[in-house]
Amino acid sequence: MIKYKMYGGSNMTVKVAVLTSGGDAPGMNAAIRAVIRSGLLAGYEMFAIFEGFRGIIENKIVSVDRTFVSEIIMRGGTILKTARFPEFRDSKVVEKAAENLRFYGITHLIVIGGDGSYRGAYALSKHGIKIIGIPATIDNDVMGTEQTIGFDTALNTITEAVDKLRDTSSSHHRCSIIEVMGNRCGDLALYSGTACGVDLIISPEYRPSEEEIIETLKNINLNRARHALVIVSEKQFEDLEKLRERIVEETGFDAKIEVLGRIQRGGSPTASDRVLAGRLGVYAIDLIAKGIDNVCVGLVDGRLRHHAIAEVTKSTNPNLDELLNVIDKLK
Protein backbone atom coordinates (compact mmCIF):
# COMPACT_ATOMS: atom_id res chain seq x y z
CA MET A 1 0.00 0.00 0.00
CA ILE A 2 1.33 3.47 -0.92
CA LYS A 3 2.11 5.72 2.03
CA TYR A 4 1.73 9.41 1.22
CA LYS A 5 4.41 11.56 2.83
CA MET A 6 3.81 15.14 3.94
CA TYR A 7 6.79 17.44 3.69
CA GLY A 8 7.76 20.86 2.53
CA GLY A 9 10.60 21.55 0.18
CA SER A 10 12.85 24.26 -1.21
CA ASN A 11 11.77 26.15 -4.31
CA MET A 12 15.41 26.43 -5.39
CA THR A 13 15.15 23.34 -7.59
CA VAL A 14 12.66 22.40 -10.30
CA LYS A 15 10.10 19.97 -8.94
CA VAL A 16 7.75 18.35 -11.42
CA ALA A 17 4.62 16.38 -10.58
CA VAL A 18 2.59 14.17 -12.91
CA LEU A 19 -1.00 12.94 -12.66
CA THR A 20 -3.56 11.17 -14.80
CA SER A 21 -7.12 12.42 -14.90
CA GLY A 22 -10.51 11.58 -16.43
CA GLY A 23 -11.12 8.32 -18.24
CA ASP A 24 -8.21 5.90 -18.38
CA ALA A 25 -6.58 5.21 -21.75
CA PRO A 26 -4.05 2.57 -22.86
CA GLY A 27 -0.63 4.21 -23.03
CA MET A 28 -1.02 6.41 -19.97
CA ASN A 29 1.57 4.31 -18.15
CA ALA A 30 4.00 4.69 -21.03
CA ALA A 31 3.53 8.48 -20.79
CA ILE A 32 4.08 8.43 -17.00
CA ARG A 33 7.26 6.44 -17.58
CA ALA A 34 8.54 8.86 -20.21
CA VAL A 35 7.83 11.91 -18.05
CA ILE A 36 9.49 10.54 -14.91
CA ARG A 37 12.55 9.02 -16.57
CA SER A 38 13.29 12.05 -18.75
CA GLY A 39 12.57 14.41 -15.86
CA LEU A 40 15.04 12.61 -13.61
CA LEU A 41 17.61 12.66 -16.40
CA ALA A 42 17.16 16.43 -16.63
CA GLY A 43 17.98 16.71 -12.93
CA TYR A 44 14.45 17.48 -11.70
CA GLU A 45 12.87 16.09 -8.58
CA MET A 46 9.87 14.10 -9.76
CA PHE A 47 6.58 13.54 -7.95
CA ALA A 48 3.64 11.26 -8.66
CA ILE A 49 0.10 12.27 -7.72
CA PHE A 50 -2.47 9.52 -7.24
CA GLU A 51 -6.15 9.72 -8.22
CA GLY A 52 -5.98 12.82 -10.39
CA PHE A 53 -6.90 16.28 -9.11
CA ARG A 54 -8.55 14.71 -6.07
CA GLY A 55 -5.11 13.41 -5.08
CA ILE A 56 -3.77 16.97 -4.87
CA ILE A 57 -6.49 17.93 -2.40
CA GLU A 58 -5.99 14.73 -0.38
CA ASN A 59 -2.17 15.02 -0.46
CA LYS A 60 -1.66 11.72 -2.28
CA ILE A 61 1.69 12.97 -3.51
CA VAL A 62 4.98 11.04 -3.42
CA SER A 63 8.52 11.71 -4.55
CA VAL A 64 9.58 8.99 -7.00
CA ASP A 65 12.71 7.58 -8.58
CA ARG A 66 13.42 5.64 -11.76
CA THR A 67 12.35 2.30 -10.30
CA PHE A 68 8.82 3.62 -9.74
CA VAL A 69 8.10 3.25 -13.46
CA SER A 70 9.86 -0.05 -14.10
CA GLU A 71 7.88 -2.68 -16.04
CA ILE A 72 4.85 -0.48 -16.76
CA ILE A 73 5.25 0.43 -20.43
CA MET A 74 3.16 -2.55 -21.57
CA ARG A 75 0.39 -2.18 -18.99
CA GLY A 76 -3.03 -0.75 -19.72
CA GLY A 77 -4.85 1.60 -17.36
CA THR A 78 -2.80 3.92 -15.15
CA ILE A 79 -0.67 3.04 -12.13
CA LEU A 80 -1.48 6.50 -10.73
CA LYS A 81 -5.20 5.72 -10.81
CA THR A 82 -7.67 8.31 -11.97
CA ALA A 83 -10.88 9.83 -10.69
CA ARG A 84 -13.58 12.18 -11.86
CA PHE A 85 -13.57 15.17 -9.51
CA PRO A 86 -16.45 17.57 -10.29
CA GLU A 87 -15.62 19.57 -7.16
CA PHE A 88 -12.65 20.95 -9.09
CA ARG A 89 -15.06 23.33 -10.84
CA ASP A 90 -15.14 25.26 -7.56
CA SER A 91 -12.49 28.02 -7.61
CA LYS A 92 -11.89 27.59 -3.87
CA VAL A 93 -11.03 23.90 -4.39
CA VAL A 94 -8.65 24.85 -7.21
CA GLU A 95 -7.00 27.45 -4.96
CA LYS A 96 -6.55 24.84 -2.23
CA ALA A 97 -4.95 22.47 -4.76
CA ALA A 98 -2.50 25.17 -5.82
CA GLU A 99 -1.61 25.78 -2.16
CA ASN A 100 -0.95 22.08 -1.61
CA LEU A 101 1.34 21.89 -4.64
CA ARG A 102 3.29 24.92 -3.42
CA PHE A 103 3.64 23.31 0.01
CA TYR A 104 5.55 20.47 -1.64
CA GLY A 105 7.61 22.98 -3.58
CA ILE A 106 6.20 21.67 -6.87
CA THR A 107 6.85 24.17 -9.63
CA HIS A 108 5.39 22.29 -12.62
CA LEU A 109 2.45 19.93 -13.08
CA ILE A 110 2.12 17.59 -16.05
CA VAL A 111 -1.49 16.52 -16.60
CA ILE A 112 -2.14 13.41 -18.71
CA GLY A 113 -5.77 13.23 -19.81
CA GLY A 114 -8.52 14.55 -22.06
CA ASP A 115 -10.30 17.84 -22.59
CA GLY A 116 -11.90 17.86 -19.13
CA SER A 117 -8.48 17.34 -17.56
CA TYR A 118 -7.15 20.24 -19.60
CA ARG A 119 -9.85 22.51 -18.21
CA GLY A 120 -8.82 21.57 -14.68
CA ALA A 121 -5.17 22.17 -15.54
CA TYR A 122 -6.01 25.55 -17.06
CA ALA A 123 -7.79 26.54 -13.84
CA LEU A 124 -4.65 25.66 -11.86
CA SER A 125 -2.48 27.71 -14.21
CA LYS A 126 -4.44 30.80 -13.16
CA HIS A 127 -3.13 30.21 -9.63
CA GLY A 128 0.53 30.26 -10.63
CA ILE A 129 1.10 26.54 -11.25
CA LYS A 130 3.08 25.92 -14.43
CA ILE A 131 1.22 23.39 -16.55
CA ILE A 132 2.03 21.00 -19.39
CA GLY A 133 -0.85 18.94 -20.83
CA ILE A 134 -0.39 15.55 -22.52
CA PRO A 135 -3.39 14.27 -24.52
CA ALA A 136 -4.58 10.80 -23.47
CA THR A 137 -8.11 9.59 -24.21
CA ILE A 138 -9.53 6.88 -26.42
CA ASP A 139 -12.05 9.40 -27.82
CA ASN A 140 -9.40 11.34 -29.79
CA ASP A 141 -11.30 14.55 -29.01
CA VAL A 142 -8.48 16.73 -27.67
CA MET A 143 -7.59 19.76 -29.73
CA GLY A 144 -4.02 20.59 -30.69
CA THR A 145 -3.14 17.03 -31.70
CA GLU A 146 -4.15 14.75 -34.54
CA GLN A 147 -3.95 11.69 -32.30
CA THR A 148 -4.32 11.13 -28.58
CA ILE A 149 -2.66 8.43 -26.51
CA GLY A 150 -5.02 5.45 -26.33
CA PHE A 151 -6.93 6.07 -29.55
CA ASP A 152 -4.96 3.57 -31.64
CA THR A 153 -5.34 0.81 -29.05
CA ALA A 154 -9.09 1.39 -28.73
CA LEU A 155 -9.40 1.45 -32.51
CA ASN A 156 -7.67 -1.92 -32.74
CA THR A 157 -9.89 -3.32 -29.99
CA ILE A 158 -13.02 -2.23 -31.87
CA THR A 159 -11.72 -3.56 -35.18
CA GLU A 160 -11.04 -6.97 -33.67
CA ALA A 161 -14.51 -7.07 -32.07
CA VAL A 162 -16.27 -6.04 -35.29
CA ASP A 163 -14.38 -8.67 -37.28
CA LYS A 164 -15.65 -11.32 -34.85
CA LEU A 165 -19.20 -9.97 -34.93
CA ARG A 166 -19.09 -10.17 -38.72
CA ASP A 167 -18.63 -13.94 -38.44
CA THR A 168 -21.70 -14.50 -36.28
CA SER A 169 -23.79 -11.83 -38.04
CA SER A 170 -23.31 -13.47 -41.45
CA SER A 171 -24.36 -16.82 -39.99
CA HIS A 172 -27.78 -15.52 -38.96
CA HIS A 173 -28.86 -13.07 -41.69
CA ARG A 174 -28.50 -10.40 -39.03
CA CYS A 175 -27.92 -6.67 -38.85
CA SER A 176 -25.47 -5.98 -36.03
CA ILE A 177 -25.75 -2.47 -34.59
CA ILE A 178 -22.41 -1.89 -32.86
CA GLU A 179 -22.23 1.01 -30.42
CA VAL A 180 -18.77 2.43 -29.74
CA MET A 181 -17.54 5.10 -27.36
CA GLY A 182 -16.40 8.59 -28.31
CA ASN A 183 -18.52 10.98 -26.27
CA ARG A 184 -19.24 13.90 -28.64
CA CYS A 185 -16.51 12.92 -31.11
CA GLY A 186 -17.09 10.34 -33.83
CA ASP A 187 -13.48 9.40 -34.57
CA LEU A 188 -13.74 5.89 -33.12
CA ALA A 189 -16.85 5.18 -35.18
CA LEU A 190 -15.50 6.80 -38.36
CA TYR A 191 -12.08 5.17 -38.29
CA SER A 192 -13.22 1.73 -37.13
CA GLY A 193 -16.09 1.74 -39.60
CA THR A 194 -13.69 2.54 -42.42
CA ALA A 195 -11.18 -0.07 -41.24
CA CYS A 196 -13.86 -2.77 -41.03
CA GLY A 197 -15.74 -1.89 -44.22
CA VAL A 198 -19.10 -1.69 -42.45
CA ASP A 199 -22.31 -0.89 -44.29
CA LEU A 200 -23.26 2.19 -42.27
CA ILE A 201 -21.52 4.61 -39.92
CA ILE A 202 -23.51 6.93 -37.67
CA SER A 203 -21.61 9.64 -35.80
CA PRO A 204 -21.96 13.32 -34.89
CA GLU A 205 -20.04 14.23 -38.07
CA TYR A 206 -21.74 11.67 -40.33
CA ARG A 207 -25.39 11.44 -39.40
CA PRO A 208 -27.84 9.88 -41.88
CA SER A 209 -31.52 10.22 -41.00
CA GLU A 210 -33.47 7.21 -39.75
CA GLU A 211 -35.22 7.04 -43.11
CA GLU A 212 -31.86 6.91 -44.90
CA ILE A 213 -30.68 4.17 -42.52
CA ILE A 214 -33.78 2.06 -43.18
CA GLU A 215 -33.60 2.59 -46.94
CA THR A 216 -29.91 1.64 -47.06
CA LEU A 217 -30.53 -1.57 -45.13
CA LYS A 218 -33.53 -2.43 -47.33
CA ASN A 219 -31.32 -2.13 -50.40
CA ILE A 220 -28.61 -4.28 -48.79
CA ASN A 221 -31.17 -6.99 -48.09
CA LEU A 222 -32.64 -6.79 -51.60
CA ASN A 223 -29.15 -7.35 -52.99
CA ARG A 224 -29.16 -10.68 -51.15
CA ALA A 225 -26.48 -9.69 -48.66
CA ARG A 226 -26.25 -12.23 -45.85
CA HIS A 227 -25.84 -9.62 -43.17
CA ALA A 228 -25.27 -5.94 -42.40
CA LEU A 229 -22.95 -4.11 -40.02
CA VAL A 230 -23.75 -0.70 -38.57
CA ILE A 231 -21.37 1.23 -36.31
CA VAL A 232 -22.88 4.02 -34.24
CA SER A 233 -21.23 6.49 -31.87
CA GLU A 234 -22.69 6.58 -28.38
CA LYS A 235 -25.28 9.27 -27.57
CA GLN A 236 -26.61 9.50 -31.13
CA PHE A 237 -30.06 8.17 -30.28
CA GLU A 238 -32.25 8.70 -27.25
CA ASP A 239 -33.41 5.11 -27.63
CA LEU A 240 -31.31 2.87 -29.89
CA GLU A 241 -33.75 0.03 -29.24
CA LYS A 242 -36.44 1.88 -31.22
CA LEU A 243 -34.14 2.01 -34.24
CA ARG A 244 -33.46 -1.71 -33.86
CA GLU A 245 -37.19 -2.41 -33.84
CA ARG A 246 -37.69 -0.38 -37.02
CA ILE A 247 -34.88 -2.29 -38.73
CA VAL A 248 -36.52 -5.62 -37.85
CA GLU A 249 -39.99 -4.47 -38.96
CA GLU A 250 -39.03 -2.70 -42.18
CA THR A 251 -35.84 -4.21 -43.66
CA GLY A 252 -36.24 -7.98 -43.38
CA PHE A 253 -33.14 -8.32 -41.20
CA ASP A 254 -33.01 -9.64 -37.69
CA ALA A 255 -31.15 -7.02 -35.66
CA LYS A 256 -29.11 -7.03 -32.48
CA ILE A 257 -27.48 -4.18 -30.55
CA GLU A 258 -23.90 -4.85 -29.49
CA VAL A 259 -22.57 -2.30 -26.97
CA LEU A 260 -18.80 -2.72 -26.75
CA GLY A 261 -18.59 -0.57 -23.63
CA ARG A 262 -15.51 -0.19 -21.45
CA ILE A 263 -13.65 -3.06 -23.05
CA GLN A 264 -12.53 -0.30 -25.43
CA ARG A 265 -10.55 1.32 -22.61
CA GLY A 266 -8.62 -1.79 -21.65
CA GLY A 267 -5.74 -3.86 -22.94
CA SER A 268 -2.04 -3.50 -23.45
CA PRO A 269 -1.28 -0.39 -25.54
CA THR A 270 -0.27 -0.85 -29.15
CA ALA A 271 3.27 -0.06 -30.28
CA SER A 272 1.93 3.14 -31.86
CA ASP A 273 0.44 4.35 -28.57
CA ARG A 274 3.59 3.45 -26.63
CA VAL A 275 5.81 5.38 -29.03
CA LEU A 276 3.45 8.37 -29.08
CA ALA A 277 3.35 8.40 -25.27
CA GLY A 278 7.14 8.29 -25.11
CA ARG A 279 7.54 11.13 -27.60
CA LEU A 280 4.99 13.38 -25.89
CA GLY A 281 6.31 12.65 -22.39
CA VAL A 282 9.90 13.50 -23.30
CA TYR A 283 8.74 16.58 -25.23
CA ALA A 284 6.88 17.86 -22.15
CA ILE A 285 10.07 17.72 -20.09
CA ASP A 286 12.06 19.34 -22.91
CA LEU A 287 9.63 22.27 -22.89
CA ILE A 288 10.10 22.73 -19.14
CA ALA A 289 13.87 22.86 -19.71
CA LYS A 290 13.29 25.62 -22.26
CA GLY A 291 11.16 27.64 -19.85
CA ILE A 292 7.93 26.97 -21.76
CA ASP A 293 4.80 26.26 -19.73
CA ASN A 294 1.01 26.52 -19.69
CA VAL A 295 0.87 24.61 -22.96
CA CYS A 296 -0.46 21.31 -24.26
CA VAL A 297 1.69 19.05 -26.41
CA GLY A 298 0.53 17.13 -29.44
CA LEU A 299 1.23 15.70 -32.85
CA VAL A 300 0.53 17.90 -35.89
CA ASP A 301 1.44 16.65 -39.37
CA GLY A 302 3.49 13.97 -37.65
CA ARG A 303 5.61 16.48 -35.72
CA LEU A 304 5.66 17.42 -32.05
CA ARG A 305 3.99 20.74 -31.40
CA HIS A 306 2.66 22.71 -28.45
CA HIS A 307 -0.21 25.16 -28.09
CA ALA A 308 -1.29 27.51 -25.33
CA ILE A 309 -3.63 25.66 -22.99
CA ALA A 310 -5.99 28.66 -22.95
CA GLU A 311 -6.50 28.29 -26.71
CA VAL A 312 -6.79 24.50 -26.73
CA THR A 313 -9.61 24.52 -24.17
CA LYS A 314 -11.63 26.83 -26.45
CA SER A 315 -11.06 25.00 -29.76
CA THR A 316 -13.48 22.80 -31.69
CA ASN A 317 -13.05 19.47 -33.46
CA PRO A 318 -10.77 19.42 -36.52
CA ASN A 319 -12.06 19.10 -40.07
CA LEU A 320 -12.75 15.52 -41.14
CA ASP A 321 -13.66 16.23 -44.77
CA GLU A 322 -10.98 13.92 -46.21
CA LEU A 323 -12.07 10.91 -44.15
CA LEU A 324 -15.76 11.59 -44.79
CA ASN A 325 -15.01 11.71 -48.52
CA VAL A 326 -13.31 8.30 -48.25
CA ILE A 327 -16.33 6.88 -46.40
CA ASP A 328 -18.71 8.17 -49.08
CA LYS A 329 -16.69 6.57 -51.87
CA LEU A 330 -16.35 3.21 -50.12
CA LYS A 331 -20.03 2.70 -49.34
Contact 80, 49 (CB under 8 A): yes
| Pure H helices in 104-206 | 115-125, 151-171, 187-196
Torsion of CA 220, 226, 231, 236, to 10 degrees: 60
Contact (CB, 8 A) for 62 and 1: no
Question: Nearest to residue 104, comparing CAs of 198, 11, 203?
Answer: 11
Q: Which residues of 147-163 are buried (b: 16+ CB within 10 A; e: fewer)?
A: bbbbbbbbbbbbbebbe
Of 24, 115, 139, 152, the active-site residue reads 139
Contact of 94 with 128, CB cutoff 8 Å:
no
Q: Three-state SS for 152?
A: helix
139 is catalytic: yes
Structure letter (DSSP) for residue 90: S
Q: How far is Cα 226 from Cα 175, in angstroms, rounded to an integer? A: 9
* Residues facing residue 236 across a β-bridge: none
Distance from the first to the final alpha carbon of the chain? 53
Q: Distance (Å, rounded) from C-alpha 158 to C-alpha 196?
A: 9
Q: DSSP code of 42? A: T
Residue 231 β-bridge partners: 178, 201
Q: What residues act catalytically?
A: 139
